[in-house]
Structure 1
Amino acid sequence: MAIETGSAAPDFTLPDTGRTPVTLSELWRTRPVLLVFYPFAFSHICEGEICQVRDELAGYTDENVQVVGVSVDTPFTLKAWADRQGLTFPLLSDFWPHGAVAQSYGVFNDQGGMANRGTFLIDGTGTVRFAEVVSPREARDQTRWKKAVAALAG
Structure 2
Amino acid sequence: MTPPPVQAATAVGVLPEIGDTAPDFELVNQFGEPVRLSDLRGRNVVVIFYPFAFSGICTGELCEVRDNLSLFADSNATVLAVSVDSKFTLRAYAEKEGYGFDLLADFWPHGGAASLYGVFDPDSGMAQRGTFIIDADGIIRYVVVNPRGQARDLAGYRTALAGLAGS
Regarding TM over 0.5, the answer is: yes
Letter in 2 for 1:118: G
Matched with 2:37 is 24
1:57-104 residue CA offsets vs partner (Å, 9 max, x unmatched): 111101111111000000000000000000010110000000010000
Q: Tell me the SS of whatever aligns to 2:42.
A: coil
Matched with 2:48 is 36
Paired residues, number? 153
Matched with 1:103 is 115
C-alpha displacement of 1:4: 1.4
Runs of at least 4 residues of structure 1 off by over 3 A?
none
Q: Determine if contact 1:102/1:108 at 8 Å carries over to the other structure.
A: yes
Cα distance in 1 between the residues matched to 2:108 and 2:147: 22
Cα distance in 2 between the residues matched to 1:111 and 1:62: 38
Q: Tell me the SS of whatever aligns to 1:92.
A: strand
Q: Tell me the SS of whatever aligns to 1:61.
A: helix
Identity value in percent: 51
What runs of 5+ residues in structure 1 fail to find an aligned partner?
A: none
**Does residue 1:63 correspond to 2:60, yes or no?**
no
| TM-score normalised by L of structure 1 | 0.97
Q: Tell me the SS of whatever aligns to 2:61.
A: helix
Matched with 1:128 is 140
Name which of 69, 86, 89 aligns with 2:101.
89
Q: Determine if contact 1:2/1:133 at 8 Å carries over to the other structure.
A: no
**Does residue 1:150 correspond to 2:150, yes or no?**
no
Name which of 9, 24, 27 aligns with 1:11.
24
Cα distance in 2 between the residues matched to 1:98 and 1:116: 14
Q: Determine if contact 1:39/1:136 at 8 Å carries over to the other structure.
A: no
| TM-score normalised by L of structure 2 | 0.90
Q: Tell me the SS of whatever aligns to 2:152.
A: coil
Query: What is the aligned-residue RMSD (CA, Å)?
Result: 0.7
Q: Tell me the SS of whatever aligns to 1:41.
A: coil
What runs of 5+ residues in structure 2 fail to find an aligned partner?
A: 1-13
**Does residue 1:50 correspond to 2:62, yes or no?**
yes
Cα distance in 1 between the residues matched to 2:63 and 2:153: 13
Q: Tell me the SS of whatever aligns to 1:80.
A: helix
Q: Determine if contact 2:44/2:75 at 8 Å carries over to the other structure.
A: no
